[in-house]
Amino acid sequence: EAQVTQNPRYLITVTGKKLTVTCSQNMNHEYMSWYRQDPGLGLRQIYYSMNVEVTDKGDVPEGYKVSRKEKRNFPLILESPSPNQTSLYFCASSLSPRVEQYFGPGTRLTVT
């Protein structure tokens, strides 16, 4: 089944404790991206990647890191999480940014 998977689905952590949210797709897509969803703000792009080893900032990259060492994986790293990073996070992939984005199921992160 073609899909985007994210882990974990739910995470509660404390301020400053490094964490990684994994994202994997099995559709051989080149374009991958991370979004955060907050009430009233919609979906905001954090980082995106056009291909392996090619990443770029979205609209809200502060406090986040990404890497793209393999085509199928695009982990999101929070080196020192803060409460303002409490949000719902989505990973997405597609053949290119101008076609359908396939979204993962989301990761709900709470930073206390």
Q: To the nearest 10°, report the CA torsion of 6, 34, 3, 42.
A: 100
The C-alpha atoms of residue 2 and residue 106 are separated, in whole angstroms, by 16
Subset of 47-106 contacting another protein (CB under 8 A): 48, 50, 56, 58-59, 90, 92, 97-98, 100-101, 103-106
Amino acid at 35: Y
Given 2, 12, 14, 41, the residue binding another protein (CB under 8 A): 41
Cis peptide leading into residue 83 (ω within 30°) = no
The region of 17-25, 32-40, 62-70, 73-81 touching another protein under the rule CB under 8 A is 32-40
Residue carrying the six token digits 């792009």: 45
Query: Which positions touch another protein (CB under 8 A)?
Result: 4, 31, 33, 35, 40-45, 48, 50, 56, 58-59, 90, 92, 97-98, 100-101, 103-106
